């Protein structure tokens, strides 16, 4: 029999309100958020920095190709996330109510739907601007074309603000699941101090892994950047490992979160934790990148492991 003071906010109740669609949603929503954040960071850094990608996305070179693919990927993932929410709610008009009801700003659950809508609109604008820029370049490169005029006035302001707005929406979307889950009896681990940081880091890891996989085609297109991407991934994994460790030891004894953590370490979820989070998500990429990082297969293999591990941790914070 658990101590009464401990038991109240544990999750002993059989009537778990959220099912598979929400578990999948909270797990996967980190991917589009992280992908946009990684692109944003990459675009804001000089080309020589240790960030993944061939060259800054906002400028010339082949960066636009990755931006184009990544934006469409993110848009598809956000559409899928919206579809999951509609599936969970049962009817599209209920999702619409999430978007249009502003009565209770204290309730973080509707912020996810609103963020998805805002980010999708921003992405559509970003894709239009990218498409417009590419056409302008083609016209300028063709017969009779001149130098490309720089954006001015409102167009320039939009051009500059858009990446920041996308970054802000993505950061919020990466972290808000912790705010939702922390207010429930479903996920005691989400109420621990490190949960928001872990959600952010897993989103970034998922984004970095997705960039790595998006760069697989065309083959060899970004081979020159391989060492930089390897260093970046190793660095992120090191921060992630440290955050995981300190988040774990920050959980106090005698709390509901401790019960959940014990379930991860020694209970029913331990196989997924050791195999998925630590094995596939940390050890595999660290060993692969550390020992065989120069081989062509190493980075995609590490990316798949990172994706699997990050997904496993996000799911475990929700479900354990």
CB 26 within 8 A of CB 314: yes
Q: Min. distance of Cβ 262 from other proteins in angstroms?
A: 16
Of the pair 10, 241, the CB lying nearest other proteins is at 10
CB 43 within 8 A of CB 58: yes
C-alpha of 24 from chain center: 13
- What residue ranges bind other proteins (CB under 8 A)? 1-2, 4-5, 7-10, 12-15, 17-18, 88-90, 94-95, 97-98, 101, 103-104, 106-107, 109-110, 180, 183-186
Q: Min. distance of Cβ 42 from other proteins in angstroms?
A: 34
Contacts for 306 with CB less than 8 Å, ≥ 6 apart: 205, 206, 208, 209, 233, 237, 281, 285
Q: What distance in Å separates the CA atoms of residue 252 and residue 133, rounded to the nearest whole number?
A: 54
> Is 46 buried (19+), middle (13-18) or exposed (0-12) by CB count in 10 A?
exposed
Of the pair 13, 150, the CB lying nearest other proteins is at 13
Of the pair 114, 231, the CB lying nearest other proteins is at 114
Contacts for 91 with CB less than 8 Å, ≥ 6 apart: none
> Is 295 buried (19+), middle (13-18) or exposed (0-12) by CB count in 10 A?
exposed
The helix (H) or strand (E) run that includes residue 94 is helix 92-100
Of the pair 10, 44, the CB lying nearest other proteins is at 10
Of the pair 193, 254, the CB lying nearest other proteins is at 254
Q: Min. distance of Cβ 24 from other proteins in angstroms?
A: 15
Q: Min. distance of Cβ 162 from other proteins in angstroms?
A: 28
Q: Min. distance of Cβ 108 from other proteins in angstroms?
A: 8
């Amino acid at each position: 029999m658990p101590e009464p003071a401990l038991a109240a906010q544990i999750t002993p109740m059989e009537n778990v309100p959220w099912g598979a669609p929400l578990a999948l949603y909270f797990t996967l929503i980190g991917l589009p958020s992280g992908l946009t954040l990684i692109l944003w960071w990459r675009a804001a850094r000089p080309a020589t920095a240790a960030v993944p990608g061939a060259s800054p996305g906002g400028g010339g070179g082949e960066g636009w190709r990755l931006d184009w693919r990544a934006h469409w990927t993110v848009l598809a993932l956000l559409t899928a996330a919206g579809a999951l929410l509609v599936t969970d709610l049962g009817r599209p008009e209920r999702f619409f109510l999430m978007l249009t009801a502003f009565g209770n700003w204290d309730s973080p659950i509707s912020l996810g739907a609103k963020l998805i809508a805002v980010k999708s609109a921003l992405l559509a604008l970003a894709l239009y601007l990218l498409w417009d820029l590419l056409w302008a370049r083609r016209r300028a490169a063709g017969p009779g074309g001149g130098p490309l005029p720089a954006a001015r006035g409102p167009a320039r302001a939009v051009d500059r603000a858009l990446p920041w707005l996308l970054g802000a929406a993505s950061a919020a979307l990466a972290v808000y699941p912790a705010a939702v889950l922390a207010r429930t009896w479903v996920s005691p681990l989400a109420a621990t101090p490190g949960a928001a940081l872990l959600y952010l880091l897993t989103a970034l890891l998922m984004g970095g892994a997705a960039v790595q996989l998006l760069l697989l085609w065309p083959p060899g297109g970004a081979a020159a950047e391989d060492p930089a991407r390897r260093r970046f991934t190793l660095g992120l994994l090191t921060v992630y490992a440290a955050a995981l460790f300190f988040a774990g030891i920050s959980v106090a004894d005698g709390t509901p979160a401790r019960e959940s953590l014990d379930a991860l370490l020694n209970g029913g979820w331990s196989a997924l934790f050791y195999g998925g989070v630590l094995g596939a998500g940390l050890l595999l990429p660290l060993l692969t990148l550390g020992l065989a990082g120069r081989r062509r297969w190493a980075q995609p293999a590490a990316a798949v492991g990172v994706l699997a591990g990050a997904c496993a941790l996000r799911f475990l914070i929700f479900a354990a």
